[in-house]
Amino acid sequence: MAVILRTDHLNKVYRLGSLARSREVRALNDVNLNIESDHPVIVSVVGESGSGKTTLAKTLLRLVEPTSGTATIYDKTIAGKGIHPPKREFLASVQPIFQNPFEAFSRYRPVDAYLQETASRVAGLGRDAATDAVIKALASVGLEYADVRGKYSNQFSGGELQRVSIARALIPNPSLIIADEPVSMIDASRRMIIINLFRALKEEARRSFLYITHDLATAYYISDFVAVMNRGAVVEFGTAREVMSDPQHEYTKLLLNSIPTTRSRWRTRPTLASA
């Protein structure tokens, strides 16, 4: 079995304030995850703001260096003190999708330029092969190249642009895609298009996903495994079904009880006489 994602005593400490009055924030506190599988998986990381889930994503994307510990993705150690995997090889195996697609693409540059650049620089393709890869990637997220070509980010809706950014991430054929709150900016009615796309890409294109979210319902819907984070530590980890239907940790229970469902009410509301 391949190690899809492993973190070994991963720590990240941020220092805030001046030298004399500095304060430490443990963004990651001894995070140990181990996910092994022969098949691609979707792993959700859930928690509130400040729980360290975005720091974990940034560490795995090599955007921040951990204070101690190591991280392994698909049997390759990619993060840790003094670990420098070859950049292009790393980018071709791990790709990000960020929360706000309008911030991910410049307003002054057509979005297909980003796709072309990813194809030529990261995937190392020639011009014609690059265009073919862009067309293929866009098709796999349900978009036509002709509809995207030459357009700027403000000409798309949030959901469409997020699909373009997923297409961009797919171009170098990464084995793991790290999606940091990919649907929180998208209208509730169109969120499921993106979520179902992740599931289809896992099954058909055989990509693994690390889905970072505070939306527990969508995490339950698509993931194989769920890690619950609180104050920098993973407080509960298991298969999505286990964690969500039989939570062990108090914090997981608190999160689950705070979801506004349409099943049972937190408290009864007085019903008004009709107008």
Partner 1 sequence: MIRLKNVVGSYRTSRGSINAVDDVTIDIPDGCILGVAGESGCGKSTLMKLIYGDIVPPMTLSGGSIEYGFTDERGAPVTSANITRQWFNRIAYIPQSSMNSLNPVVRVGSQFLDFPGPDRDKRRVLETVKAYIVKLGLPVETLDAYPHQLSGGMRQRVMIAMATFFQPQLILADEPTTALDVVVQKDILMLLMDVQEEMQNTIVLVSHDMGVHYQTTSRMLIMHAAKAVEYGDSESVFASPLHPYTGMLINSLPTIGDDRAREGIPGRPPSLWQSLEGCRFADRCPLATARCRAEEPAQLDHRPGQFAACHYAGETPEKRGETKWR
Binding site for partner 1 (CB under 8 A): 48-49, 157, 187-193, 195-196, 214, 216-218, 220-221, 244-245, 254-263, 265-267, 269-275
To the nearest whole angstrom, how small is the minimum distance from the Cβ of residue 71 to partner 1? 25
Residue 74 backbone phi and psi in degrees, to 5: 45, 55
Residues 6+ apart with CB under 8 A from 267: none
**Residue with Cβ nearer partner 1 (146 or 188):** 188
To the nearest whole angstrom, how small is the minimum distance from the Cβ of residue 16 to partner 1? 13
**Residue with Cβ nearer partner 1 (22 or 262):** 262
**Residue with Cβ nearer partner 1 (19 or 272):** 272
Q: Which of 98, 244, 113 lies closest to 177, judged by CA? A: 98
To the nearest whole angstrom, how small is the minimum distance from the Cβ of residue 149 to partner 1? 21
**Residue with Cβ nearer partner 1 (117 or 242):** 242
**Residue with Cβ nearer partner 1 (22 or 189):** 189
To the nearest whole angstrom, how small is the minimum distance from the Cβ of residue 223 to partner 1? 11
To the nearest whole angstrom, how small is the minimum distance from the Cβ of residue 99 to partner 1? 11
Half-sphere exposure of 57 (CA within 13 A, CB side): 27
To the nearest whole angstrom, how small is the minimum distance from the Cβ of residue 222 to partner 1? 9
**Residue with Cβ nearer partner 1 (2 or 200):** 200
To the nearest whole angstrom, how small is the minimum distance from the Cβ of residue 77 to partner 1? 32
221 alpha-carbon distance from chain centroid: 15
**Residue with Cβ nearer partner 1 (82 or 270):** 270
**Rounded distance, CA 38 to CA 29, Å?**
29
